[in-house]
């Protein structure tokens, strides 16, 4: 596990003074990832999104490392191209130091319009870490629904009203899609546990090949909650309700990292967010039951896979 005392000595590669919202999880993700990647020089690529537009407003930048801004859909392709150029230069003896590569993308640029780019980079086997800061909608462009948006959530393109109750489909399981690429390391983490996330970043950067981390990253604007509740919602509720399990897959072997002492009902997570408030009307109880059933099934499936005895 990561050592907090040692980490505190590392140089900050993401400075303060950026323009992310108060309570935004993306800044926490980027800062902790950069602290975890302190042993070697790092090249960062980032898709257009909240993290990019708030940390690189010309002529200013919050990044104290090499940073490349790419289009919404091709952060993974850009990072894989830079990594390929690096390997070529190293083979030619023009570069001698070890360099690591990290690509960032929100769920819109990862689950949806960047999926082809990401899949190609993973399949080709580039030594790079892709981190999806997953705030479950296109937050930067107006809170539109994405493939990561959970069932029942209110967004501007899937609004809750008299006809529809927010998004009607279940969210895409991108973590499992990445696992299906048979890459060395895949993990899920969450903003509320720095040790879990930092340790996983260090593991991912150490593997000789592609790696992927999907980290649940709350957006206080799109999720509609108080800024000071960011850590509470993630740390104490997302994992405890099993809506977002913390686990990793190393070379095909599943391991659950955080096992809830008491599995709480999904309503404990949903009730703190304005995007789900319509689901708590008596006439919408069936939607909550459907969400709970889906979470229970996915949790049981993950437990089976972690025990290597899955037949679900």
DSSP 175-205: HHHHHTTT-SEEEEEETT-HHHHHHHHHHHH
For 4-306, which CATH superfamily applies?
Thiamin diphosphate (ThDP)-binding fold, Pyr/PP domains (3.40.50.970)
Strands of 42-46's sheet, edge to edge?
A: 66-69, 42-46, 100-106, 129-134, 211-216, 185-190, 247-250, 253-256
Residues pairing with 187 in the sheet: 213, 248
- Give residue 39's pLDDT: 82
CB atoms within 10 A of CB 91: 9
Low-confidence ranges of the chain (pLDDT < 50): 311-312
User: What pTM was computed for the model?
Assistant: 0.95
Distance between CA atoms of residues 55 and 65, nearest Å: 12
- Give residue 310's pLDDT: 57
pLDDT in tens, 145-192: 999 999 999 999 999 998 999 999 999 999 999 999 999 999 999 998
- Give residue 112's pLDDT: 97
Angle at 212 between CA 139 and CA 136, to 5 degrees: 20
Residue 279, CA distances (Å) to 20, 134, 142, 246, 286 in order: 29, 22, 22, 26, 9
Domain ranges in the chain are 4-306
Distance between CA atoms of residues 13 and 32, nearest Å: 9
- Give residue 169's pLDDT: 95
- Give residue 99's pLDDT: 97
Burial class (CB in 10 A: 0-12, 13-18, 19+), 301: middle
- Give residue 65's pLDDT: 93
Structure tokens at 26: 């993306």
């Amino acid at each position: 596990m990561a050592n907090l005392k040692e980490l505190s000595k590392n140089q900050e590669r993401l400075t303060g003074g950026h323009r992310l919202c108060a309570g935004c999880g993306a800044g926490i993700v980027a800062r902790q990832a950069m602290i975890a990647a302190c042993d070697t020089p790092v090249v960062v690529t980032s898709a257009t999104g909240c993290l990019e537009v708030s940390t690189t407003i010309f002529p200013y930048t919050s990044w104290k490392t090499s940073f490349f801004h790419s289009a919404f859909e091709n952060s993974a392709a850009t990072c894989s191209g830079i990594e390929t150029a690096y390997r070529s230069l190293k083979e030619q003896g023009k570069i001698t130091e070890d360099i690591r590569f990290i690509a960032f993308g929100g769920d819109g640029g990862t689950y949806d319009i960047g999926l082809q780019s990401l899949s190609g980079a993973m399949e080709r086997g580039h030594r790079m870490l892709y981190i999806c800061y997953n705030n479950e909608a296109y937050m930067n462009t107006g809170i539109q629904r994405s493939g990561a948006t959970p069932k029942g959530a209110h967004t501007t393109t899937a609004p809750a009203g008299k006809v529809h109750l927010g998004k009607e489909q279940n969210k895409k399981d991108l973590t499992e899609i990445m696992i299906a690429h048979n890459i060395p390391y895949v993990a899920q983490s969450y903003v509320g546990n720095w040790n879990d996330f930092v340790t996983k970043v260090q593991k991912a950067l150490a593997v000789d090949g592609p790696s992927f981390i999907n980290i649940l990253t709350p957006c206080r604007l799109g999720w509609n909650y108080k800024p000071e509740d960011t850590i509470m919602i993630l740390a104490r509720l997302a994992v405890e309700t099993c809506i977002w399990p913390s686990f990793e897959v190393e070379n095909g072997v599943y391991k659950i990292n955080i096992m809830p002492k008491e599995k709480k009902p999904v309503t404990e997570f949903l009730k703190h967010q304005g995007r789900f408030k319509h689901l708590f009307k008596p006439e919408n109880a069936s939607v909550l039951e459907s969400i709970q059933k889906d979470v229970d099934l996915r949790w049981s499936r993950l437990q089976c896979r972690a025990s290597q005895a899955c037949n679900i």
